[in-house]
Amino acid sequence: MTFSEVLTRRELVRNLSLAAGGLYLSPHTLGLAASSSFPSKRPQPSARRFRSPAVDAAIDSVSSKISDPELAWLFSNCLPNTLDTTVTFGEFEGKPDTVVVTGDIPAMWLRDSSAQVWPYLPFVKADQSLARLIEGVIRRQTRCILIDPYANAFMSDLKSAEPLPWSKTDHTTMKTGVGERKWEVDSLCYPVRLSYQYWKETGDIAPFDAQWAAAMHLIVSTFKDQQRKGSQGPYSFQRVSATPTETLGNAGFGAPTRPVGLIHSGFRPSDDACVYPMNIPGNFFAVKTLFRLEEMLTEITHDAASAREAALLREEISSALRNYAPGKHPTAGEIWAYEVDGLGNAIFMDDANVPSLLGLPYLECCSKAEPMYLATRRFAWSDDNPYFYRGSVAEGIGGPHIGQDMVWPMSIIILALTTDDEHEQLQCLRWLKKSNAGTGFMHESFNKDDPGKFTREWFAWANTLFGELILTIANRTPRLLASSNI
């Protein structure tokens, strides 16, 4: 999606010129603001962490095309939530530096921060300040990876010796600046995805300096170490907790495995411990990541040897996925497992957090039309998935992180983003609208029968992902937003 596909050139020039002077409020925005039913939930302009005229102009343009006032209100609140409330933009050593916290947790996850700013990439050509902000995210992530490639979260102050409160007594090698040290394959995939798309959108190679190249080499070497061919590798983790998913067994290395070429992970994208260490969605994402790395190392850093190393690793993991990801489910038939151990054991489930089996096409890891994906998708969105819930308000996927009967809006958003079925997309919009429970925002999870029972009222990733969904529909099938049946 390009910015010009959301706004006409005439609208863009008019809106940006007025917004830059702090004068612009579209008739639609004024109408929403004046509505007693749907008052804006955004901070006052002076209180916003970062202001992007391009994003604000897109909000006004797209909102004006949404017939349902509550859906338009949700979009106008959610899309800018990361910029409004979670970013700190500055400089480090004379270069852009951007911290992106999750919302209610004052730390920067590599995964979340990448995903939180992802929907803004189509607007960077029209907004140079926004481009610099995202360049700052890439540079900050580079510094984080070089501190510790096994960490999932970092403190805003990378010189801080204090991690997140629940990490203070973890039995693992904690380094200064690390907020939490749960090893998750996707934590190293998301920054590459962001770097790659920033490069494609802008053509700017300034962030991809020697430090970035060193971080990319570290990603590849970490992936190789976690294939665990010769040893269990340097990472282990244990936490004293009454919740089993918060720690790893087997002296902190997780369940025993047979090395088959897949990358081992301690934890899932939900930050819950893996049952079997070879997470299949994470390995699919790693394959796509290595493909992108190969291209960037070839075209930007001109490092043919490192590009070849990435390519060989990608081919090895791809081969292992072909051999070990498919499994026979007793009712769903042959589908992709969620986790395996290389010893013949597998767990059949899906989790709401991305990468998920459901979300593989969203991450460009497979085609939406691939037969194995379609079979796996049907399983994931069915009662055969132990973490699928169907209630009187909505249906969707959750996970062990929150527990039974709690649907994650993220799963509904991903369902809509991975289908071309307009009826399915409309149904997803209805469920998502119900899920906000009058708050004006998405949440981490909500009860399938009562959206007023939800977790995390300030979860910026879910908010901007919802904004991305509306932008995608506005670009591909705008007639859905004009429907009166939402």
Domain boundaries, the chain: 87-355
pLDDT per residue, tens digit, the chain (486 aa), is 444 444 443 344 334 433 433 333 444 444 444 456 899 999 999 999 999 999 999 999 999 999 999 999 999 999 999 999 999 999 999 999 999 999 999 999 999 999 999 999 999 999 999 999 999 999 999 999 999 999 999 999 999 889 999 999 999 999 999 999 999 999 999 999 999 999 999 999 999 999 999 999 999 999 999 999 999 999 999 999 999 999 999 999 999 999 999 999 999 999 999 999 999 999 999 999 999 999 999 999 999 999 999 999 999 999 999 999 999 999 999 999 999 999 999 999 999 999 999 999 999 999 999 999 999 999 999 999 999 999 999 999 999 999 999 999 999 999 999 999 999 999 999 999 999 999 999 999 999 999 999 999 999 999 999 999 999 999 999 999 999 889
> Residues 181-220, buried b or exposed e (16+ Cβ, 10 A)?
bbbbbbbbbbbbbbbbbbbebbeeeebbeeebbebbbbbb
85 is written with which tokens? 């409330």
Contact of 401 with 273, CB cutoff 8 Å: no
Report the C-alpha gap between 217 and 211 in whole angstroms: 10
Which among 440, 438, 268, 425 is positioned nearest to 355, based on CA atoms?
A: 268
Q: pTM, whole model, 2 decimals?
A: 0.93
The torsion angle over the Cα atoms of residues 334, 335, 336 and 341, rounded to 10 degrees, is -40
Alpha helix stretches (DSSP H) within 166-273? 186-202, 210-225
Contact of 261 with 317, CB cutoff 8 Å: yes
Cα end-to-end span (Å), the chain: 24
Report the C-alpha gap between 416 and 473 in whole angstroms: 9
44 contacts: CB under 8 Å, gap ≥ 6: none
Contact of 276 with 282, CB cutoff 8 Å: no
In one-letter notation, the amino acid at residue 370 is E
Alpha helix stretches (DSSP H) within 325-455? 371-380, 409-417, 422-435
Q: Which CATH class is domain 87-355?
A: mainly alpha
45 contacts: CB under 8 Å, gap ≥ 6: 22, 51
Report the C-alpha gap between 38 and 187 in whole angstroms: 37
For residue 13, the model assigns a pLDDT of: 35
Q: Tokens 């391009």 belong to which residue?
A: 54
What number of residues does the chain have? Answer: 486
Q: Which burial class, exposed, middle or buried, applies to 447 when counting CB atoms under 10 A from its CB (0-12, 13-18, 19+)?
A: buried
Report the C-alpha gap between 98 and 230 in whole angstroms: 38
